[in-house]
Structures are given as C-alpha cells and as structure tokens.
Amino acid sequence: MKARHQRLLLVLAALAALGLIVALVFSALKENVAFFHSPADIAAGKAPENKLFRVGGLVEAGSLERQEDGVTVRFVVTDNIARVPVHYKGILPNLFSEGKGVVAQGRLAEDGVFVAQKVLAKHDENYMPPEAAQALQAAHEAGIGNRTMNPSDPGFLEKK
Amino acid sequence: MIPELGLFSLILALPVALCTGVLSLLGAQRGRPAWIALARPGSVALAFLVGVAYLCLTWAFVQNDFSVLYVARQSSSSLPIVYRVAGVWGGHEGSLLLWLLMLTGWAALVRFYSRALPDGLRARVLGVLCLVAAGFLLFILLTSNPFLRLIPGAAEGRELNPMLQDPGLVIHPPLLYMGYVGFSVAYAFAVAALMSGQLDAAWARWSRPWTLAAWVFLTLGIAVGSWWAYYELGWGGWWFWDPVENASFMPWLAGTALIHSLTVTEKRGSFKNWTALLAVSTFSLSLLGTFLVRSGVLTSVHAFASDPARGVFILAFLVAVIGASLLLFVWRAPRMGLGGRFALVSRESLLLANNFLLVVATSAVLLGTLYPLIVDALDVGKISVGAPYFNAVFVPIMLPLLFLIGVGPFARWKQASAAEIARRLRWTLALAIVLPIPLYSFFEVELIGRRPLLNLSLMLALWIFLSAGRHFIQQVRATQGGGSFIAAALKQPLHFWGMHIAHVGVAVFVAGVAIVGAYEAEKSVKMAPGDTVGINHYRFRFLGVQSIEGPNYQALRGEMALLENDRVERRLFPEKRFYHRSAMPMTEAAIDAGLWRDVYVVLDEPIDRERPDDEWVVRIYVKPLVDWIWGGAFLMALGGLLALLDRRYRIRRRAPIQEIRV
C-alpha cells in the first residue's frame, strides 16, 4: 500500500467512526432529554404521555403521606394553579419538606398520578430549584398566585 | 485593617500583572533584554502580592472577623478551626482567590524551574500567565471582592454550608484547582511557542512535565471529589454526570489526550499543531468549567450565589482567551511543518486513535452539558439531560480505547507490523477472554453472556493488565543481560514504570466500575431496634438511635451491627445531623470500607418524627470492589507522577536537545 492510500484509509476510518458516534449521540440525546412542565401545563394536557419529564413547584403543606413500608411516599406538587399528585419510592433529599420547592422527574400515569423516579430539592436553605421557581413565577404573573408566593421576593422562603 | 491590607495587595497586583505580561511579551517579540528580564521578578512579585491577599482573608476567617461580608456569610465562631481555614474556598469569592493563588503560584514555579529555557521563551510563558492572572484579578476586583465590609459588622456569622463541613473540603478543591489551573502552564507554553514560531520537540519536552503535573493533580482532585460525593451525599453513588463534575472531567479527558500527543511531538516531531491546539483547548475547557460553575447558569451543590455580571464577565474573558489563542493558532500554525511521517500501523497512528476517541468523548460530554443551556437560550423550553445519555454515549466510545491501551506499547514508532503485534499478543488476548469465566462463580452464579457489558469490561480490564505485564516483562528481559530480573526492572526509566502503572490503574478502575455496577445490592427497609435484615450473605441488626452533641450540631446516631454467624463482626454508626445555625439536616453515612467490598449504612427517616428512638427507615448497601474505582484513579496519578520524575526532564542548564530524525 502506498503512503497516500494509507492516509486515505486512515481518514476514511476516522470519518466512519465519527459518523457512527454522531448517530449514537443524537439517538441517546433524543431518548434521554427530559422537558420541564409546570402543574398548570399538566392540567392543561400539555405534558407528554408515557415520556420522561420533570415537574416542579411547591410541596403542598399537609400532603406528604408515607406508606406502610416506610419507603414509598405520596405528596402533591402545586404551582398555585393546579395540583399534581406524585407517587415516589426511593430516597427523599435531606431538604425535602412540605411547603418547600421541589422538582420531580418521572412519567405521568393514566390515572393522572405522576410516578417519580427521582426527586430533587434545593441544596441549602436559600436556594430553590430554578424550574420550580419559574413555574411559581409564571403562575404569579398570571395573577393567580398570591403575593407571598412570589419566589423572586427575597423574604419568600422565610415566610413559608 | 488586615482585610484592607489584603484588598490593597490585590489592587496592587493588577498593574504588576499587566505590566509584567505586556512588557515581557513585547520584549520577547522585539528582542529587548531589559523588558525580558522583567518577567522573572514580575511573576514572583505577583505571586507574593496574591499570597498576601490570600493570607489576609484566611486571617479574617481565623479571627472570626464578621465585619467582612464574605466571612460573615461563610463562617461562624462555632466552626472548627480547620473548616475556618478551608472555608476560605467554601464560597464564590474565596474560591476565585484560590484559583488566582494557584495560577500565580504555578507562574512562580515556572520562574524557578525553567533555568534551562531560553530567556525569550521563558519571558513569553511567564507573560502569558501574568496576563491570564490579570484577567482573573480584574474579575475578582470588579465583581467578586472577598474583602467587602459589612457595616455594621455582624455579631455572628451564618455558618458554612454543613455539606461542606467535611475533610473533603480541605483537600478536594485545592487538588482540583491545582489541576485545573496547572493546565494554564501547558497553555502558556503552547501560546509562547506559537508566538515564537518554535513549535518543536524541545517545546514538547519542556511542557510535558508541567502538563503531567497538572494532570496528576486533576486526577487526584476528581477522584477525591468523587469519593467525597460517595460518602457525603448518602446515595452511595460515585459519579452523577452532574454538570459540575463534567466541568472538571472535560479538561481531564482533553488533558489525557494532550499528555499522549505530547509524547509523539517530543519523540517524533509529529502532531505539532494538533498538540498546540489540544493545549489551548484543555485550558479553555478549564476556563469554561469555571464559567459554568461560577456564573450560576448551572445549578448544583457547587453553584454558589449567581450574579449575571459575573457570568457576562467570565463569558467575555473566555471569548477573549479562546478567540485570541485560536487567531494566533490560525495565523501561525500553517508555518510549522508536518514533522515525521508514519505508516498506517505504527505507535503514532495508535496514539492518534487515542486522541481521536478522547476528543470525541470530550465533545459528547460537552454537548450533553451545554445542551440544556442552548435550549434554554433559544427559549424552546426547559430541559435536562440525564445520566443515561452520558452512559449511553461515553461507554461505547471508551471501549475501543480500552482495547487500544493494551496494543499501544507493543507498536513501534514510525512503522509497525500488525502481524507481529498479533503474534505477540494472541495468548494474552485469549487469557483475557477466558479468565473472567471462573471469576463469575466467585461473585454470583450468573449465566455468561447475560450481561454483555459486564463481561466485556472485565475482559478489557484483564486485557490491559495482562498486556501491560507482558510488555513490562518483555522490555526488562531485553535489557537484563546476565543480571537479575529485579535489578533490571528497577533500572527501567521512570516514564516506562509510570506508563504501565497508569494503565494498570485504568484496568483497576474499569474492573471496579463494572463489578459495582453489576453486583451492588441495596435494601431500604423499616427497622425497629432489635430487628435484623439480610443482604447477600451479610446480616445487619439495628440496635437503636441515640442523641449526641457535636461541636456545632446535634445528631441522632444509629447503631447497626454487622453480623457474621450471629456474632457481631463490626459496629456501624450512621448519623442524622442538625446543624444549629443553618437548621439544615444532614445524613452522615456509616461505611465499613474494604478491599473487596464496602458496607454502607444510612439512617433515612424516623417513621414517627416525635419518636426518634423507635422505628426508622434504614438504607443498606453492599458494594463489591467500589474502592477499586478510587484506587485505580490513584494508580493513574501515581503513574503520572513517576513519568514526570523521569530523568530526562531533570533540569539541566541549556541541555542540548537531540535533533529529531524525520
């Protein structure tokens, strides 16, 4: 084989590998991207069925129930417009609590219950998941949430 | 008074950095010895001034000076002293100051350990480093001043985030930053070489030990961070593909490609442009990481308070650094010549494949990390890209790379014979395929082939291990002569030892990842004091919960006995802590670590919050070989360290560099 042919072969092999990897990347991206929807979106039927997505808002006060096994929980996520019941079996973050911001990732079951695979809360007392904050903000701008629910108000978390 | 001294010192550092940077670069360009001579004292003065500022901030932390806003936010008087010293880098402003301290520290090291370098090149390297430091100084002074006063001063600080009150905070950020920032030296060398037009083997030889040093620190930093997340977050995971983890992982991947392509440039004079581009990209990825973490565009444990002005500044800085160096590259690179030719089968093309795969992997991680930001910026919606994406993409790209690790050392430079490599390695390959079979029965009776990825990973780990051993023995035999094997082995150059130890580290890492992924067992159960639960062949008895008092927290401490034949083998004490000042609950896992397995126990939630001495939800994990993951990373770092200490990088005054045969 001449040197020129060898180089051509090398370039072709690299291009073929690259094409394969690009195809892999895009198929993986298509399958593993989770969109965010607010409880209001879900109530309006905008959330996809049987596809992974995220929902965020506040954990409604008094809605947390622990099942008999101690590991499965139910709670309600609200953006003050709509409520979404969430079913979750697994580890709740340390800072998960009623009246605080939360984001859950999972699928919507046919009975309207959101089956979560993962629940994220904030990292410290002053932080709120940005998606949850945005959902509440949107609700507030729509004139439905009340004043104390405005997450851009610095005193918001203390008041809750 | 002391904080003002620190601020003054920082302000003074800015003109020093700017003058040294601009003058030494101009001096080198125009051949003015007086300006060139400025580089050495200038870089030392800069490091001194930044060091003073850093010590002043540390002093404010140690003295509990809550009239400094940053201290009041990050510390409290009940905080143990070690966390007050480490707390300096627990927040945004201080961690940037640490960044800067590391950067100027690296520059000072270059000044002291570069006597063999021509004056012009050294002035350029130091000049580039000083200019980067000037950028960071501006950033700190304009948007993130750590010495800002709080008037009137607070009586008590707000306390460091409890998640950070851990020995991990003391070691993880400094190691990581040493690595991150260390790539600035490789970057400065590449830019200096591009400016002078001397992108040659000598350049590669000079920048190699610096690049290796940065890579060793980054490897250790990432490993310690992963270990910290493993025991602190209480989920028992060791890697989450969190954007911040990716931010440190991307420079690591690019840096790994860089240390390999530097070998080719040093030995054969090939890949010069490519190596320079990689050096620029690696440091750019470090800067991008800093941007992602510090601008608050991403949210995670590491994202401190966000401020749009900061994001805009870092973005502008990033564009300036990357843009300027790419322009320089485009302008200068085509003149550099191609270097040595090589055949399709040769060490060069195998290392090219290594670089190709590592760069593609870096790009895939970059895409996954930035994709949510791009989608958000286009206002199409809010999305998140989860760990499954990264696993689906990253693993298939790495598998061929793992295979190539075993082949690489056997290929000759310039022209190798595929048939000869195959002949040398056929039994090694056969052994790597057959050996895992009896291993399965050791862990679990699992049908072979049921878990293709596990099988393949184990085979590849063995393949790397065996072929490294094979190559090592072959090489030592070749130089043994009449002497003993051990004596000949000890005489091998350190870079040879380093390469094999690092590659065996990869094998150990892969084995750990594969086994823990396939065979870890988890149980989340409700337990009352006295209850017993079994996982695999382990049995655990819950003995109840006690209340204890820590220095700045109160904790509920559970006691769990690990039983073997009804005899208590070990006692584990998982805790649930409540920090006084921040009122934050924290889960502290109890871990019984071992070479073959970790037992990991977490106290989750009391069934009835009013009665914490009664039933609890307890999580127990048994994780086989999980410590191999960090052990492997440690071996990789050790290999890098040995390679860096190789005799040929020892400083010799004006050592002649061998001509490269083309």
Q: pLDDT tens digit string along B596-626? A: 899 999 988 888 778 888 888 888 999 999 9
Q: Do B617 and A1 touch (CB under 8 A)?
A: no
Please spell the DSSP secondary structure of A18-62, one letter per residue: HHHHHHHHHHHHHHHEEEEE-HHHHHTT-SPTTS-EEEEEEEPTT
Give the separation between CA B460 and CA B401, rounded to whole angstroms.
10
Pick the most confident of B228-242, B406-420, B493-507, B555-569.
B493-507
Of B364, B583, B604, the CB nearest to A125: B583
- Cα separation, A54 vs A114, in Å, equals 10
Helix (H) or strand (E) segment spanning residue B164: none
pLDDT digits (tens, 9 = 90+) for B127-144: 999 999 999 999 999 988
**Is residue B27 very low, low, confident or very high in pLDDT (cuts 50, 70, 90)?**
very high
Buried b (16+ CB within 10 A) or exposed e, B638-655: bbbbbbbebeebeeeeee
Is the predicted pLDDT of residue A113 greater than 60, yes or no? yes
Chain B residue with minimum CA distance to A15: B356
| Cβ-nearest to B587 among A28, A94, A134 | A94
- Which position has the token pair 């840096």? B255
Nearest residue of A to residue B158 by CA position?
Answer: A125
Q: How many residues does chain A have?
A: 160
The 3-state secondary structure of B14-77, one letter per residue: HHHHHHHHHHHHHHHHHCCHHHHCCHHHHHHHHHHHHHHHHHHHHHHHHCCCCCEHHHHHHCCC
Which of the residue ranges A46-50, B326-330, B400-404, B531-535 would you say has the lowest mean pLDDT? Answer: A46-50
Q: What b-and-e string marks burial along B299-315, b requiring 16 or more CB atoms within 10 Å of the CB?
A: bebbbbebeeebbebbe
Per-residue model confidence (pLDDT) at position B661: 39
Most confident of A100-109, B232-241, B348-357: B348-357
pLDDT of residue B662: 35
Question: Is A46 in the B-facing interface, judged by CB distances under 8 Å?
Answer: no
- Distance from C-alpha of B487 to C-alpha of B479, rounded to nearest angstrom: 10
Q: Where are the domains of chain A?
A: 1-33, 35-141
| Strand partners for B592 | B599
Q: Select the residue from A2, A7, A32, A118 to test the B interface by mutation, using most B Cβ atoms within 10 A.
A: A32
Write out pLDDT tens, residues B95-116.
899 999 999 999 999 999 888 8
Nearest chain A alpha carbon to B375: A35
Residue B581 has pLDDT above 80, yes or no: no
Select the residue from A91, A95, A105, A126 to test the B interface by mutation, using most B Cβ atoms within 10 A.
A91
Mean pLDDT of B243-272: 91
Tokens of B600: 């990991």
Contacts 24+ apart (CB under 8 A), B470-475: B470/B424, B470/B425, B470/B428, B471/B409, B471/B410, B471/B500, B472/B500, B474/B424
Q: What is the CATH number of domain A35-141?
A: 2.40.50.140
> What was the pLDDT predicted at A149?
38
ipTM for the complex? 0.78
pLDDT at A1: 58
From B260, B84, B292, B95, select the one nearest B176 (Cα to Cα).
B95
Spatial neighbors of B34 by CB under 8 A, at least 6 apart, are: B27
CB B23 within 8 A of CB B35: yes
Whether residue A105 and residue B389 make contact (CB cut-off 8 A), yes or no, is no
Looking at per-residue pLDDT, the higher value among B595 and B580 belongs to: B595
Residue A43 scores a pLDDT above 60: yes
Strands A33-37 and A53-59: parallel
CB atoms inside a 10 Å sphere around CB A67: 11
**What pLDDT, on a 0 to 100 scale, did the predictor assign at position A134?**
66
Chain A hits for B604, Cβ within 8 Å: 91
Report chain B's mean pLDDT, rounded to a whole number. 87
pLDDT at residue A11 greater than cutoff 80: yes
Q: How far lies B469's CA from each of A25, B410, B425, B515, B646, in Å?
A: 35, 12, 11, 22, 20
B368 contact residues in A (CB cutoff 8 A)? 29
